[in-house]
């Protein structure tokens, strides 16, 4: 897994936040996608730049990122406000997931 793969998801969420767009999914849908191993499919819904799509079609890369995001989502489940200060906007949650995945996987 490359750092740029994680960051690409954050950039996509950030672009939508900047345009003040609503997330095309909810917190519950993020949790369901994590349980089902479909977070990348969900995050492709915010990829109007093609940044995620560049690597998401490569099975090994996709599986590594999916696993990293799933671990973070499960660790944050039900504690979003306390741990990361996010509770209203799913796009902010995506950014927090990205930041936590970076910290866990690249924080040496």
The pLDDT, as a whole number, for residue 93 is 95
Give the DSSP letter of residue 21: P
The whole-angstrom separation of Cα 103 and Cα 2 is 13
Which mean pLDDT values do the consecutive 10-residue runs of the chain (108 residues) have? Answer: 95 96 96 96 95 95 96 88 80 96 88
Q: Where are the domains of the chain?
A: 3-103
Reading the block at residue 63, the tokens are 């599986």
The pLDDT, as a whole number, for residue 82 is 72
The whole-angstrom separation of Cα 53 and Cα 43 is 10
């Amino acid at each position: 897994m490359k750092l740029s793969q994680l960051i690409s998801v954050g950039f996509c969420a950030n672009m939508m936040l900047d345009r003040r767009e609503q997330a095309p999914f909810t917190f519950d849908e993020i949790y369901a996608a994590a349980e089902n191993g479909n977070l990348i499919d969900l995050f492709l819904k915010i990829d109007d730049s093609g940044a995620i799509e560049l690597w998401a079609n490569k099975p090994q890369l996709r599986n590594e990122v999916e696993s990293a995001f799933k671990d973070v989502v499960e660790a944050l489940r039900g504690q979003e406000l306390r741990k990361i200060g996010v509770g209203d906007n799913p796009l902010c949650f995506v950014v927090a997931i990205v930041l936590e995945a970076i910290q866990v996987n690249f924080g040496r």
